[in-house]
Amino acid sequence: MKIVVLKFGGTSVGSIDKIKKVAQIIGNHKKKKFKVIVVSSAMSGVTNELVKKSREISGNFSNEEYDVLLSTGEQIACSLIAGRLNHIGFKSRSWLSWQIPIITTGLHKNSRINKINKKKIIRYLNEGGIPIITGFQGINKEERITTIGRGGSDASAIMLAKFFKAKKCIIYTDVEGVYTTDPRKLTKAKKIKVISYEEMLEMASLGAKVMQPVSIQDARLNRIDIEVKSSFINKPGTLITKRSNIFNHKIITGISSTQNDSKVSLIGVRDKPGIAASIFKPLSKNSINVDMVVQNISANGKETDLTFTIKTDDLNKTTKIIRANKSIKFRKLLLKKDVAKISIIGVGMVATPGVTFRMFQTLANEKINIQVISTSEIKISVLIDKKNIKKALAALHKEFKLDN
């Protein structure tokens, strides 16, 4: 059975006219003799509006009811898509997660898909139907609706592709594919034709908003190729696949940046085993994500300076937690907003010496000071002043020949 999974994001189904366009895209795949499974997000803005309503009702709105509430957004979009497909001559119906069912495990608001019952959908496909399935949600063993995190419709599509052994998984969005950097920040950004799971995972984790990191990880673990393309322009998109399928790697594939970061430095912390854990444990318990971490030991070996980055939205909470933490002592607490992280990503740097030097020298030539450095096998990230982000992007994009 030649199955294709098509996923449409919120901007792709953001209006009635856009839903009509989506129905045409689905119909074109059906005409190519594919068995088509469609996954839809909620119409753009709907989920945010539902979240707002939950907050207006209660400052302690339960997670269980939160999932029930938010799942209605996808239900509306799927019904409209199915209705349009029927109108233009195709057999289609909406499928809610509990009707299939899609089984999830884990906590409400952040569950993971564990199993998909294929029987009903396969029967419907064999009858010539086009199932329109609600993304972002499932049902747990207590038969309660669950959601799988914001952006979770991508994960729904990837898991459906896995369980149904789809030939293709296409993610339709409002951009033409994955770019070398954010085209809104740099007009010279170029569309990437092919990118590895690892590179895409790093880019998604570091600020690229095309796909959620957990979805890329699911695709990587299950070896599912993904094509990201536009719902509005009929052009080839970006293929996300395994490294061995990619030839002629560039040294650097893309550059990501974030601009909502703050730097926290604890000066004069007593250097003893477990001190870092004492600092970060209460932050973790309060769901504060710590990113870049640098520790410097004093010459006498008795003190250390610890610097780390967090999202600026968490800065006030972080400050209160650190000041209230009786298990640590420090001489000074330094806080700095208006910083940004810029990262170069590419599997090509594994076998290419001198990449770090080229990055640092390029920034130095632009008189840009590096405050924190973090590296992995295929990534180098630096923290700089936010005011320099556009200048840094342009210089690094040119240095690693991504303009071409």
Say which CATH number the domain at 76 has.
Answer: 3.40.1160.10
Domain boundary among 174, 204, 227: 174
Beta strands (DSSP E) in 110-222 are: 112-116, 130-134, 137-139, 145-147, 168-173, 194-196
- Give a yes or no: residue 220 inside a domain: no
Please give the model's pTM, rounded to 2 decimal places.
Answer: 0.83
Going by their DSSP bridges, the two strands 372-376 and 293-297 should be labelled as unpaired
- Give a yes or no: residue 210 inside a domain: no
Q: Indicate whether 131 and 7 sit together in one domain.
A: yes
- Give a yes or no: residue 184 inside a domain: no
Domain boundary among 174, 194, 223: 174
Cα(223)–Cα(216) distance, integer angstroms: 10
Q: Indicate whether 166 and 17 sit together in one domain.
A: yes
Q: Indicate whether 284 and 153 sit together in one domain.
A: no
- Give a yes or no: residue 304 inside a domain: yes
Average pLDDT over residues 19-42: 96
Domain that holds residue 278: 255-399
- Is 163 in a helix, a strand, or coil? helix
Going by their DSSP bridges, the two strands 102-105 and 112-116 should be labelled as antiparallel
CATH code of 268's domain: 3.30.2130.10
pLDDT 10s digits, 54-98? 999 999 999 999 999 999 999 999 999 999 999 999 999 999 999
pLDDT 10s digits, 170-222? 999 988 999 999 888 899 999 999 999 999 988 887 766 677 788 888 889 88
Please state the domain count of the chain. Answer: 2
Containing 34, the helix (H) or strand (E) segment is none
Question: CB-side exposure of 80: number of CA atoms within 13 Å?
Answer: 22
The tokens of 144 are what?
A: 């309660």
Q: Indicate whether 291 and 392 sit together in one domain.
A: yes
Q: How confident is the model at residue 7 (pLDDT cuts 50, 70, 90)?
A: very high
Whether residue 121 is predicted with pLDDT greater than 80 in this model: the reply is yes
Domain boundary among 129, 157, 174: 174
Q: Indicate whether 53 and 145 sit together in one domain.
A: yes
Whether residue 299 is predicted with pLDDT greater than 70 in this model: the reply is no
Q: Which residues pair with 263 in a beta bridge?
A: 309, 336
User: Based on the number of CB atoms within 10 Å of its own CB, is 283 exposed (0-12), middle (13-18) or buried (19 or more)?
Assistant: buried
Q: Indicate whether 18 and 138 sit together in one domain.
A: yes
CB 246 within 8 A of CB 196: yes
Tokens 């700089």, residue? 384
- Give a yes or no: residue 125 inside a domain: yes
